[in-house]
Structure 1
Amino acid sequence: MDVLSEALASMRTGAPNSVRTEGHAPWGMRLPETAGAGFHVVLHGTCWIYPTEHTTAPIALGPGDLIFVRDGSGHILADHPDTPAEVPRPDQYSRKPPVGMVRLGGDGPVTSLLCGNYHLDGQRPHPLLRQLPEVIHLPARHGRHPELTSAITLLGAELDNPRIGSHGIVPALIDALLLYILRAWVEDQPQTESVGWAAALRDPAVAPALSAMHEDPSASWTVQTLADHSGLSRAAFARKFATMVGEPPLAYLTRWRLTTAARLLREDDLPMDAVAARAGYSSEFAFGKAFKREYGLAPGQYRRQSRTAA
């Protein structure tokens, strides 16, 4: 089971979109806070990115650089930190997302960007996402992450020249790009790291246990049966899992079971007893009690509310 893919899928609440941005100096683009995560790739030229509140120093970006903003916090992209920034106006868009195009600024040198965002449940993010830095900067490195580079090239081509099928292709490419971004981040972490999700996903003892829980959350897992997947003793496994992941194995299992249930309630029409069984609960009553404790709503209310919001 691919834990990274499953964790992200469990948080998705809507289709992603992307926009090709052309900034002609002097230009500044203010992006308000959004629910989810976002990315920017510099295809041509240079620019700066910094938080709306100027709480950290601006980051200089060049061709091929990628920025991932974990929480969709408000930020500014500009040709220079001193350039005034504004939220793009509707008349500056020649095409709307998910296959969008926007032009800003004056008549100076151009910076071409690929920008996108993901609608994710920020109220209950998976701990993997919480452990990411607020901003991930992946500088251009020739040959370092070829699959990520290829995904960017394909997405840029679809936005430059939309054709039949582009409205289906673009969201799929943006989803793939998110996984490539996070894979690149995990692979760039020092191999000496002994804590955190980057270490857990490649650890020969913890990774198999995580995979087992994700593959079959309804199984009657115990610390001992999970330890059997890891090849460690019960005590050694429990200590290592808690140190790396940040919580004990069965606490994570409960979280994942309820996350799985929430996803089923949002996306499927299964009867409630079937949702409870898939989430590892022997009775609908026990499931409802655990779900309300975690989400603040009964499962039926959550289903109705999520469908209305969609």
Structure 2
Amino acid sequence: MDVLGDMLAVARVDAALMATFDARAPWGIELPARQGASFHAVVAGTCWFTADDAPPRRLEPGDLVLLPTGARHGLASAPGMPSRHFDDGLKRTLIRPTGELVIEGPGARTRILCAGYGYDTDLAHPVLSLLPPVLHVATARPENGPWLRTLLDLLAHETGDRTATGSGTAAVRLLDLLLIHVIRTWLDTAADTGDGPPPSWLNGLRDPLTARALAALHERPGHPWTLEALAATVNVSRATLARRFTRHVGEPPLSYLTRWRIELAARRLRETTLPAATIAREVGYTSEYAFNRAFHRIQGCPPGRYRRQPAL
């Protein structure tokens, strides 16, 4: 079971190509915070990236920057360059009939692919909030770089001719793949540097034993799991499983399972008209009363009220 893919699917994290940005120095733009994740990939030239109070960082061809929660940030041809606020008015001024955003100038050219990822804010927070506010990945890294560079080259190709059959669909699928590879690369880098995420399911994927246990729970969330049954599935003692899982994930296996079942139930409540009792059985509850109590404790309201509330 692909735990990361399962989490992204439940949170309905979907890519949408925003723009191809083509600029010649001197230039600078400031992009406001957005609801969702922001993504930039430099395919030609160089630029400087800023976010919050961190020092500017130079982006080379093949560098990718992901802002998982859409933080405010800036891009410029040089550090300290005056920036224009990227609002709807500026966007209309710069955009070409081809869909490219172009800034003319006498200097060196930079080409950046800019995209966004939308998500269900009720369900995506546990996924994307586990990542750092800014995630910078360079394709020069030998372990993962070639794969990322191949995906980036394909994305640049698909966005180069938007009249090609299926180019829009291909670009969105490639952005989905890029997101997974960027997260995977960051996890590998964090494992090497020791600067990994705090205890969470994402951190748990870095530990082989915990990852196997997570995969089992995600593959069969409605199974009547016990700690003993899960330990037998991953071939370790109950004590070892409980210790390793809790250290990496931050809570015991069955506590994690309860929260995951409720997240699955929340999605079913929003996307279907199935009775709450049916959904409760799907996610592993034989008692509707126990399901209602667990749902209220985790989501802050009973299933019926949750279903009637408008999605954020």
In the TM superposition, 1:7-46 aligns within 5 A as: 7-12=7-12, 16-46=16-46
The offset of 1:306, in angstroms, is: 5.0
SS at match of 1:35: coil
In the TM superposition, 1:115-264 aligns within 5 A as: 115-122=114-121, 124-125=123-124, 127=126, 129-141=128-140, 143-145=142-144, 146-162=146-162, 163-190=164-191, 196=199, 200-264=204-268
Cα separation, partners in 2 of 1:176 and 1:239, compared to 1, 3 Å: same
Cα separation, partners in 2 of 1:25 and 1:303, compared to 1, 3 Å: farther
Cα separation, partners in 2 of 1:301 and 1:27, compared to 1, 3 Å: farther
Unaligned runs of 5+ in 2: none
The offset of 1:42, in angstroms, is: 0.7
Residue-by-residue CA offset, 1:239-262 (whole Å, 9 max, x unaligned): 111111122212211111111122
2:56 paired residue number:
58
In the TM superposition, 1:287-298 aligns within 5 A as: 287-298=291-302
Q: What is the CA–CA distance in structure 1 between the aligned matches of 2:7 and 2:211, rounded to whole Å?
A: 13
Q: What is the CA–CA distance in structure 1 between the aligned matches of 2:167 and 2:32, rounded to whole Å?
A: 27
8 Å CA contact 1:114, 1:156 repeated in 2: yes
The offset of 1:61, in angstroms, is: 0.7
The offset of 1:290, in angstroms, is: 2.5
Cα separation, partners in 2 of 1:192 and 1:17, compared to 1, 3 Å: closer
The offset of 1:303, in angstroms, is: 3.7
Cα separation, partners in 2 of 1:265 and 1:28, compared to 1, 3 Å: farther
Residue-by-residue CA offset, 1:270-302 (whole Å, 9 max, x unaligned): 443332222222234433332233223443443
Unaligned runs of 5+ in 1: none
8 Å CA contact 1:18, 1:170 repeated in 2: no
Cα separation, partners in 2 of 1:266 and 1:169, compared to 1, 3 Å: farther
**Corresponding letter in the other structure for 1:149:** R
8 Å CA contact 1:16, 1:175 repeated in 2: no
Aligned residues: 303
The offset of 1:184, in angstroms, is: 1.7
SS at match of 2:43: strand
Equivalent in 283, 287, 293 of residue 287 of structure 2: 283
Residue-by-residue CA offset, 1:1-27 (whole Å, 9 max, x unaligned): 001111121222655333211122121
Q: What is the CA–CA distance in structure 1 between the aligned matches of 2:250 and 2:118, rounded to whole Å?
A: 25
Equivalent in 68, 73, 76 of residue 66 of structure 2: 68
SS at match of 1:82: coil
8 Å CA contact 1:18, 1:174 repeated in 2: no
TM-score, length of structure 1 as denominator length: 0.86
The offset of 1:183, in angstroms, is: 1.6
SS at match of 1:275: helix
The offset of 1:213, in angstroms, is: 0.6
**Corresponding letter in the other structure for 1:206:** T
* 9-18 vs 177-186, greater mean Cα deviation: 9-18
8 Å CA contact 1:7, 1:126 repeated in 2: no
8 Å CA contact 2:45, 2:109 repeated in 1: yes
Cα separation, partners in 2 of 1:126 and 1:213, compared to 1, 3 Å: farther
Identical-residue share of aligned pairs (%): 41
Q: What is the CA–CA distance in structure 1 between the aligned matches of 2:141 and 2:229, rounded to whole Å?
A: 44
SS at match of 2:112: strand
Q: What is the CA–CA distance in structure 1 between the aligned matches of 2:122 and 2:226, rounded to whole Å?
A: 28
